[in-house]
């Protein structure tokens, strides 16, 4: 009941994630300036979020879909000029671990994002793009005394050039081209390959889209906000194919290293349209880690299965199951699962609540399950 009350009061925003294939969009380039997804929405993406993703319950009944789409712009109207697009975001959530425990329940409010964004499109055919953002990011809680991290920085800062409708080149600070960009930043499929919310890197990416095939390659040199010895340098690639008109299957590969670690990840993944806005996502992958101080290699295996069911427009019911084996030579593994609710009462507002149960399966040992729930807010303009 507390979650429901909170959801009725607070609000937020979500990008067009991989699960929106349930609305018929197999490629992210339809709605995002970044062809691999994430980041600022185009005018078309804003209109889709208003007329297909969000509920129309709180819009006047006299408004048709065209009117709703028109008000999806930054100042609640479509801009008259084509050069610049702006956006402001805030996202935070309340995290409760071990709920109900009298001895070790912990509550924390985390400000995940507060930033301003800008995208410039120019050229005769708007073939040139400059995208940037700057804002507050959370400082990792695992930092020890004496370590530091920057609280304000960019997560996107790149130039793009579309040679034509099939090919594009992008250079600068971007997310790595790899796997499914699911909502959950704590997902094993994002933590193990190091593609979480602050793992952007400077590099050059190429994008290809032709009919049923879409892919990308990415050569990167690390994130300059990190000390040089921690910067992961390497390359990644992803290839997907549309099957049966509305589904996607694909594979990804990533290899990177710094002064302390060599990391190699590979995965197969799929996005499946269940019609009427519902979808199924799946990813299975492995990550090999080799410390520089010795020749040992540890291979971790992870899996993700996620369903998005839309009972009615603007509302989604989630079911999430994850698997992680930190060392495939060991019998020990972790299973995390839980339901979630996502509600878009109006465009610019997302309401999200999730419950997670984490179970550690360790040989000859019994460990109590770990529970947590989080309630997310996200507002954007």
Query: Do 287 and 300 meet the contact criterion of CB atoms below 8 Å apart?
Result: yes
Output the average pLDDT for the chain.
87
- Write the secondary structure of 76-142 as one string of H (helix), E (strand) and C (coil): CCCCCCCCEEEEEEEEEEEEEECCCCCCCCEEEEEEEEEEEEEEEEECCCCCEEEEEEEEECCCCCC
Q: Say if residue 7's pLDDT is above 70.
A: no
What's this model's pTM, rounded to 2 decimal places? 0.87
Six-digit token pair at 368? 């109590």
Q: Which two tokens stand for residue 81?
A: 């000029």
Q: How confident is the model at residue 318 (pLDDT cuts 50, 70, 90)?
A: very high
By percentage, how much of the chain surpasses pLDDT 90?
52
Which DSSP state fits 44? H
Q: With the CA atoms of 329, 330, 332 and 338 taken in that order, what torsion angle do they form, in degrees rounded to the nearest 10? A: -10
- 32 forms beta bridges with 41
pLDDT for 152 beyond 80: yes
The set of residues, in sequence order, having a beta carbon less than 8 Å from that of 231 and lying 6+ positions away, is 201, 221, 222, 223, 224, 258
- How many Cβ atoms are within 10 Å of 274's Cβ, its own excluded? 16
Q: Where are the domains of the chain?
A: 2-139+147-380
Per CATH, the homologous superfamily of domain 2-139+147-380 is Porin (2.40.160.10)
Q: 286 and 302 in contact (C-beta within 8 Å)?
A: yes
112-123 pLDDT tens trace? 788 899 999 999
Which pLDDT belongs to residue 146? Answer: 43
Mean pLDDT over 135-158 rounds to 69
Alpha helices (H) in the chain, listed in sequence order: 2-9, 43-48, 65-70, 188-191
Q: Taking residues 245-274, report their average pLDDT.
A: 95
Between CA 187 and CA 14 the distance in angstroms is: 17
How far CA 266 is from CA of 18, 41, 167, 211, 218, in Å, comes to 18, 28, 24, 25, 14
Higher pLDDT, 368 or 60: 60
| DSSP-assigned letter for residue 41 | B
Pairwise CA distance, residues 115 & 119, whole Å = 14
pLDDT recorded at residue 142: 54
Question: Could you tell me which of 173, 168, 181, 180 has the C-alpha nearest to residue 217?
Answer: 168
Instruction: Say which residue, 17 or 366, is predicted with more confidence.
Output: 366
- Closest listed residue to residue 17, CA positions, set 154, 179, 194, 218: 179
Question: Residue 52 and residue 59: Cα distance in Å, rounded?
Answer: 14
Distance CA 131, CA 148 (A): 27
pLDDT beyond 90 at 147: no
Kindly state the tokens that stand for 378.
């996200």
């Amino acid at each position: 009941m507390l979650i429901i009350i909170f959801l009725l009061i607070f609000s937020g925003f979500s990008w067009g994630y991989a699960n929106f294939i349930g609305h018929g969009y197999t490629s992210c380039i339809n709605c995002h300036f970044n062809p691999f997804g994430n980041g600022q929405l185009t005018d078309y993406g804003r209109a889709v979020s208003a007329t297909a993703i969000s509920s129309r319950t709180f819009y006047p009944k006299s408004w048709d879909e065209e009117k709703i789409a028109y008000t999806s712009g930054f100042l609640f109207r479509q801009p008259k000029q084509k050069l610049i697009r702006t956006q402001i975001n805030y996202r935070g959530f309340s995290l409760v671990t071990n709920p109900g425990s009298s001895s070790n329940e912990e509550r924390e409010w985390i400000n995940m994002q507060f930033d301003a964004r800008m995208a410039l499109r120019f050229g005769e055919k708007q073939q040139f793009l400059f995208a940037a953002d700057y804002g507050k990011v959370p400082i990792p809680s695992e930092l020890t005394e004496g370590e530091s991290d920057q609280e304000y920085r960019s997560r996107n800062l790149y130039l793009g050039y579309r040679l034509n409708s099939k090919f594009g080149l992008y250079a600068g600070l971007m997310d790595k081209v790899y796997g499914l960009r699911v909502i959950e930043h704590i997902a094993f499929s994002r933590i193990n390959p190091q593609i979480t919310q602050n793992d952007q890197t400077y590099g050059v990416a190429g994008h290809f889209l032709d009919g049923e095939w879409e892919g990308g390659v990415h050569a990167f040199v690390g994130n300059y906000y990190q000390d040089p010895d921690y910067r992961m340098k390497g390359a990644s690639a992803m290839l997907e194919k549309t099957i049966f008109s509305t589904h996607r299957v694909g594979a990804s590969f990533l290899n990177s290293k710094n002064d302390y670690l060599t990391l190699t990840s590979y995965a197969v993944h799929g996005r499946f349209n269940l019609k009427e806005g519902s979808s199924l996502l799946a990813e299975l992958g492995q990550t090999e880690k080799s410390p520089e101080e010795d020749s040992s290699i540890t291979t971790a295996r992870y899996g993700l299965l996620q369903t998005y069911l839309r009972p009615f427009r603007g509302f989604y019911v989630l079911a999430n199951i994850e698997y992680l084996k930190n060392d495939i030579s060991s019998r020990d593994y972790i299973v995390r699962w839980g339901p979630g609710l996502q509600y878009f009462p109006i465009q610019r507002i997302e309401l999200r609540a999730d419950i997670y149960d984490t179970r550690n399966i360790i040989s000859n040992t019994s460990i109590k399950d770990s529970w947590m729930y989080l309630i997310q807010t996200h507002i954007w303009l």
